[in-house]
Structure 1
Amino acid sequence: MKDIVFLCDKRINTKTGFLEALSKISDTTNILLVEQGYEQFASLPEGLFSAVFEVNDITRIDQVEEVFERILDEYDVERVIAPTENVVETGGYLRTRFGIPGIQKNQAETVRNKWIMKETLRQAGIHTSQTRIASNAVQIRKIVAGIGFPIIIKPISGWATIMTYKLSNQEELERYISHSWNRESVLIEEFITGREFHIDSIVSEGELVFSSVSEYLFNCLEIVQNDRPSGTICYPTNTNFEYVERMQSFNEEIIRTLGIRNSVFHAEVFLLPNGEICFGEIGARIGGIVIIPPMVLNSHQVNLFDAAIQTELGIYEAPSLVNSGKYTGAINFPSAVGKIESISSADDFKSMEGLIDIRINYTSGQSISGGRDTMSRSGFAIVEGPDIEFVRKQLLELHDKFVLVHQ
């Protein structure tokens, strides 16, 4: 029986899909390494974990390493499961430090540090944006002058478009330096004009065994900076859009370059006006764990949560391709900050054609505290349909009809 460690922040309630997938594995002893305070978010599934070890901050390597030493005194750990973006580097460090198979420290850094990520792929001949690192205001101004407006400035190892800015002129740049920059090194990129897609894929024993192409309703930066609806549409296997096959080949080249043999991946790419494909970024984890897995499951009958757990354990079997013909879309309902005066309910949308799931997480009178990023939502809806335009129309209608009034 394998002893495995599952890494998790305190928001255990958002890891339900992973925990359900882990519960399907019968020949493991599961140890949970989790942040203190997780009990306020959810109870652990009964009998799933043989032991629970706590740290104050799951991203603090010194804290995690000390506790992991204690775990190794009691268990013969063969695998570390690091399922979400914020624990990928922690998992990589532990595997390298203690000689455990899986994504190693240098590989984890490649899929988290966006400079290393893009430079690695650029050296392999993969098209990506012009990118530089700046550490002070003088360097920021000099690099921006060299690249030219508009530009993107963001954290080197960020996620969910948090602290990511599109700046179009010198006035906006100076405002960013004065009011938004946190005085840490930042990544500066040329702005890419094009349609934004994500490719969600599974690699088992070095072979790309599944990939799914989806298109964002609006680019991620438009969602954050211009309050555009946050949504995406998953293409079925038998789509006839020629760029889908090209994106899958492009994605395969990316993953081959990274050299990671067992993982799920979430890549973002752009389809440029001239038809070329440009790399955006990639993570060795499931993207959008609330909405992307149910989309992929509906269009392809592939469970990404099962894949995330089983690839790490080296037991994943390649799925059979399903030609469902279904386009599946998801829309995130907007969030806010304050006390809710009124909010739509799921019953308000029950007659919507193509609706297969809807969740609204709040009711009137509750407090809500969302952020300006691609993770914050007050709920979501999943829609299926025979073509992309039908699904797009339904998603935008759901967004427009949703009501959230707050103080």
Structure 2
Amino acid sequence: MKRDILIVGRRRLELVNRLVLDPRLRLSLITEPDCLPIYPAVDAVELVGNVQNLDEVRHAALRLMANRRVDAVVAPAESSIPTGGYLRSYLGLPGIAFDVAHAFCNKHAMKARLRRAGIPVARDRLVPSAEGIAPALRAHGLPAVIKPVWGDGSANIHIVRDETDVAEVARPDGPLLAGGAYDEPPFLVEEFLQFDDEFHCDGLVRDGEVRFTAVSQYLVPSLRSIGSVFGSYTLPVDDPLTLELTALHADVVKAMGLIDSVTHLEIFRTERGLVVGEIACRPGGSGIARNLRRAYGFDTWEHFLATELNDPLPWRPKTPDGTYGWIMFPVRRGTVRRVSDADVFAGLTEVEEVAVKVKPGDVIDGPLYSSSMSAVVHCRTESPADIAALVSAVEDRFTVEYE
């Protein structure tokens, strides 16, 4: 007998084909109208105005359940993870419950949990309304960072350094309140941390225990990455810093109350030591998932889906033979006139895979995120010490010209 799976979400192509092509599953879907075209093979569909509206999604789920049961809920993105948790709690289904899912996606609730557990995080202040933006920034102290409480990646995050910046982000038509996705209150004001090194830990959690952690370092901190070359690379498993970050990751998972899922944790190295940025209970974006598959055989999307379906996979990581990295080239708004092809990297033996994402005539518009790219290169070097020279070499070869 097929299992009945309810998908709740917007666009998340990483999972669509895996679910649609699985003969063991019968799918139902709750999504928004403009997202429907990416789900052509799902026939039981309810459309909602906003997948983050819990009441709207609950009623949609009950309508679907008039003709189908629900054995598991799959909620694959920041925008729908709390909604998926709410449906599991409401319907008594296994998986990530609402309180845990909400804490992973509401940055204020996340920081509160971590702070209570003694985990080092930035000082923060909740801003419940647009009118409170300027007073909250002044009361918190400058410089500061302001961002949506609900968000994805580096969307709509702003550094506020002085009164000019305060006035800019508080304007109704300014970059924060008219910033496209995630431009509605509440917002979070955070302490502006000085750091040059940012790391990410990507893990697998089963039965409340961290079974695997991969530790990587970003080429540059993600908040500085828009418009510049970005990426990350794996750190040696026996490095003392790797062991320290692995232990911190385990403490964060325990504090968050996660039982089964994958994780993506970001950590800063500051003058006062390691400070936790944010943690997500879904795979990391950009080139991270592919890099982890190459280095450890860790398919984060496969394991995420398996835990959402309550059907965890038997798996053992492989030992990486060297340092694995990904280097992502940015895009900017405009019409692409000319772009290098993969052949420009010929002769660089460290470059093992190239994916060029744009072509002449493409129009780049709308919000740009830390994951917005024109191309991504996957590479392997002997050690982390070789990464900087390789980044310089590939950056010299790849260009995009715009009208």
Please report the TM-score for the alignment, with normalisation by the length of structure 1: 0.88
Instruction: Report the residue type matching 1:101 in the other structure.
Output: P
Q: How does 1:28-107 map to 2 (within 5 A)?
A: 28-38=25-35, 40-41=37-38, 44=41, 51-57=43-49, 58-107=51-100
Give, in whole Å, the separation in 2 of the partners of 1:78 and 1:357: 39
Equivalent position amino acid for 2:244 in 1 = R
Q: Partner residue of 1:233?
A: 233
Residue 277 of structure 1 pairs with residue 274 of structure 2 = yes
Specify every segment of 5 or more residues in structure 1 that has no aligned partner in the other structure, as ranges: none
Aligned CA distance change for structure 1 residues 63 and 347 (closer, same or farther; 3 Å): farther
Number of the residue aligned with 1:357: 353
Q: Which residue of 1 aligns with 2:169?
A: 176
Aligned-pair CA distance for 1:43 = 5.3
User: Which residues in structure 2 correspond to 1:80-229 (within 5 Å)?
Assistant: 80-135=73-128, 139-178=132-171, 179-182=174-177, 184-194=185-195, 195-224=197-226, 227-229=227-229
Secondary structure of the 2:79 match is helix
Q: CA deviation at 1:70?
A: 2.4
The alpha-carbon deviation at position 184 of structure 1 amounts to: 2.8
Structure 2 Cα separation of the partners of residues 115 and 313 of structure 1: 28
Q: Find the aligned partners of 2:388 and 2:29 in 1 and give their Cα distance.
A: 40
Deviation of the 1:362 alpha carbon:
2.0
Relative distance call for 1:263 and 1:217 in structure 2 (3 A) is same
Alpha-carbon distance in 2 for matches of 1:144, 1:35: 34
Q: 1:286 aligns with which of 263, 272, 283?
A: 283
Partners of 2:363 and 2:134 lie apart in 1 by 41
Distance 1:135 1:35, change over 3 A: closer
Runs of 4+ in 1 over 6 A off after TM superposition: none
Change (3 A) 1:8 1:393: farther
Q: Look up the SS of the partner of 2:105 in the other structure.
A: coil
- Alignment correspondent of 1:266: 264
> For 2:231, what is the secondary structure of its paired residue?
strand
> Paired residue for 2:181?
none
User: Is contact 2:4–2:70 with CA below 8 Å preserved after alignment?
Assistant: yes
Question: Shift of residue 282 of structure 1?
Answer: 0.9
Q: 1:318 to 1:197 in 2, by over 3 A?
A: farther
Superposition deviation, residue 142 in structure 1? 4.5
Q: Which runs of 5+ in 2 are unaligned?
A: 178-183
Contact 2:228 2:330 in 1 (8 A): no
Distance 1:169 1:38 in 2: 39
Deviations 1:226-284 (A, max 9, x none): x3322111225x3x43111111111111111111211111111112235x211101111
Tell me, in whole angstroms, the C-alpha distance in 1 between the residues paired with 2:279 and 2:402: 36
Query: Which letter maps to 2:175?
Result: S
Helix, strand or coil: the match of 2:225? Answer: helix
> In the aligned structure 2, how far is the partner of 1:90 from the partner of 1:137?
24
Deviation sequence 1:186-220 (CA, Å, 0-9, x none)? 21111112211111111112121111111111111
Greater mean deviation of Cα atoms: 265-274 or 243-252: 265-274
TM-score (norm 2): 0.89
Q: Distance in 1 between matches of 2:128 and 2:37?
A: 39
Q: How many residues align?
A: 392
Amino acid at match of 2:343: D
Letter aligned with residue 65 of structure 2? L
Distance of 1:213 and 1:286 partners within structure 2? 14
Shift of 1:129: 0.7
Q: 1:343 aligns with which of 339, 343, 348?
A: 339
1:402 and 2:398 correspond: yes
Mapped partners of 1:137, 1:65: distance in 2: 28
The one-letter code sitting in structure 2 at the alignment partner of 1:209 is R
1:20 deviates by 5.1
CA distance in 2, matches of 1:206, 1:325: 30
Q: CA contact under 8 A between 2:225 and 2:370: conserved in structure 1?
A: yes
